[in-house]
Structure 1
Amino acid sequence: MDGGAVRRDTGGASSPSGRRREREREQMRNLLLDTARGIAAEQGWQAVTIRRIADRIEYTSPVIYQYFSGKDALVSEVMCIGFRDITDRIEATMAEPVDSRLAALATAFWSFAFGAPELYQAMNGQAGVSFDGADMPPEVSRGFMVFHAVLESIAAEQGRRLRDPAAAVHTMWAYLHGFVALAMSGRVAGGAEQGERYMLASLQPLFDAQLA
């Protein structure tokens, strides 16, 4: 064996240059996603185009297509980011006492929506990309599963059960989303703070109606 031989960096994924390229690629993907979110936060998702993203980061459009096949693919990734975030927040409410867990769940949902409205809008089809059962990303499925688990935990600790788990999840999620959507569009007299109070006031009776 030639002890003086120099090991060449072939550029594979496990080589230093390969790892560097992977980091750079991930950084660029994050930059594109953050830029799209920034434009959406300022002007709405209808203003987000591949050309505008490219102009803002001072690249050409073809560079972006190396990372995303188009706006729909980019928005789908943003949607998944949103579902990962809201799922983590919902899951954290499992640590709350049972008598305040339902309100904590609703507050986590509300806080996420108003803390990152561009994410929330992308998650709910307002960016032009929606999903159905066949194409539902795993992040979306997990979000609903964790939401269901929190509702089940509240019922179980009260010695009850959800009469129809799927209906309960859809009913409670739709209720929260309805108040968020109305408040976000300025259609609640008194503004978002009043909208949150209305939401919390009728939350428990609606949940109780789902129990057997």
Structure 2
Amino acid sequence: MTTKPGLAQPKPSASRARRERERQQMRARLLEAARDIAAEEGWNAVTIRRIAHKLEYTPPILYQYFSSKESLFVELMLVGFSELTARLEAAAEAPAPQRLAAMAEAYWAFAFASPELYQAMNGMDGVPFGTAETPPEAKTAFRTFRIALQSIAEARGAELGDPGGAVDTVWAFLHGCVSLAMAGRVKGGTERARALMLNGLEPLFAAQLSS
């Protein structure tokens, strides 16, 4: 039956709304269980069977929510980018002189507060970036970063010669610093790695500016 223009769409029944709410709650529980296992034992330990055991369900029930371990990982990756975006948006509210450091600090804080999510976000084979197929959650994070960098440049009376390239360059720098620190490959540990990141950030950003 075709609904006439101007008429309100029928609201879903209470039972249907409840079932959808319960489904979303169950998906959230599965994702949280996967994160807990990964935080304790690493992503190699995360399997549908292991998650089912942790939640005291049988694996077939979990497959009703995620068709595979890979689909669950993709969902976690999207959760990660959403959480990162929230931190970046808050950092972008910092005064212009402190905004660049605030963005870097937000990125670093997210990575070390949720290392299991950070690893999922950066270890997904086959997830495209910089293309039309890039997940919208990732696009939002990159866009938030680009707008912040552009605002910093404008506050300095300059502009980014290549805004997209500037985002890629600074993002790659931050990711490299975080990854090396997580792997314990920076002499002096994470605090020195963080200090080196902040010290190197300004000249790197300045190189992206054109008057």
Give the Cα separation in 2 of the matches to 1:211 and 1:56: 51
Amino acid at match of 2:128: F
User: Is the Cα–Cα contact under 8 Å of residues 92 and 102 in structure 2 kept in the other structure?
Assistant: no
Further displaced range: 97-106 or 127-136: 127-136
Q: How many residues align?
A: 200
In structure 2, the residue matched to 1:38 is 36
SS in 2 for 1:159: coil
User: Is the Cα–Cα contact under 8 Å of residues 181 and 190 in structure 2 kept in the other structure?
Assistant: yes
Bigger Rg, structure 1 or 2: 1
Are 2:100 and 1:108 equivalent residues in the alignment?
A: no
1:89 shift after superposition: 1.0
Amino acid at match of 1:54: A
In structure 2, the residue matched to 1:131 is 128
Q: Deviations over 1:9-43 (max 9, x none)?
A: xxx97222222211211111000000011111111
User: Is the Cα–Cα contact under 8 Å of residues 41 and 117 in structure 1 kept in the other structure?
Assistant: yes
TM-score w.r.t. the length of structure 1 is 0.90
In structure 1, the residue matched to 2:209 is 211
Q: Which runs of structure 2 are paired with 1:22-33 in the superposition (5 Å)?
A: 22-33=20-31
User: Is the Cα–Cα contact under 8 Å of residues 37 and 43 in structure 2 kept in the other structure?
Assistant: yes
Q: Deviations over 1:31-66 (max 9, x none)?
A: 000001111111111111111111111111111111
Q: Which runs of structure 2 are paired with 1:1-212 in the superposition (5 Å)?
A: 14-125=12-123, 130-132=127-129, 133-212=131-210
> Taking every aligned residue pair, what percent have the same amino acid on both sides?
55
Give the Cα separation in 2 of the matches to 1:50 and 1:108: 32
User: Is the Cα–Cα contact under 8 Å of residues 124 and 130 in structure 1 kept in the other structure?
Assistant: no
Q: Return 5+ residue gaps in structure 2 as ranges.
A: 1-9
Output the aligned Cα RMSD.
1.5
SS in 2 for 1:95: coil
In structure 1, the residue matched to 2:3 is none
1:111 shift after superposition: 0.3
Q: Deviations over 1:81-111 (max 9, x none)?
A: 1101111111112211111100000000000
Decide whether aligned partners of structure 1 residues 50 and 128 sit closer, same or farther in structure 2, where only a CA change above 3 A counts.
farther
1:134 shift after superposition: 4.5
Q: Return 5+ residue gaps in structure 1 as ranges.
A: 1-11
Amino acid at match of 2:86: D
Give the Cα separation in 2 of the matches to 1:91 and 1:151: 12
Give the Cα separation in 2 of the matches to 1:128 and 1:122: 10
Further displaced range: 14-23 or 90-99: 14-23
1:129 shift after superposition: 6.1
SS in 1 for 2:159: coil
Give the Cα separation in 2 of the matches to 1:75 and 1:131: 14
Further displaced range: 175-184 or 133-142: 133-142
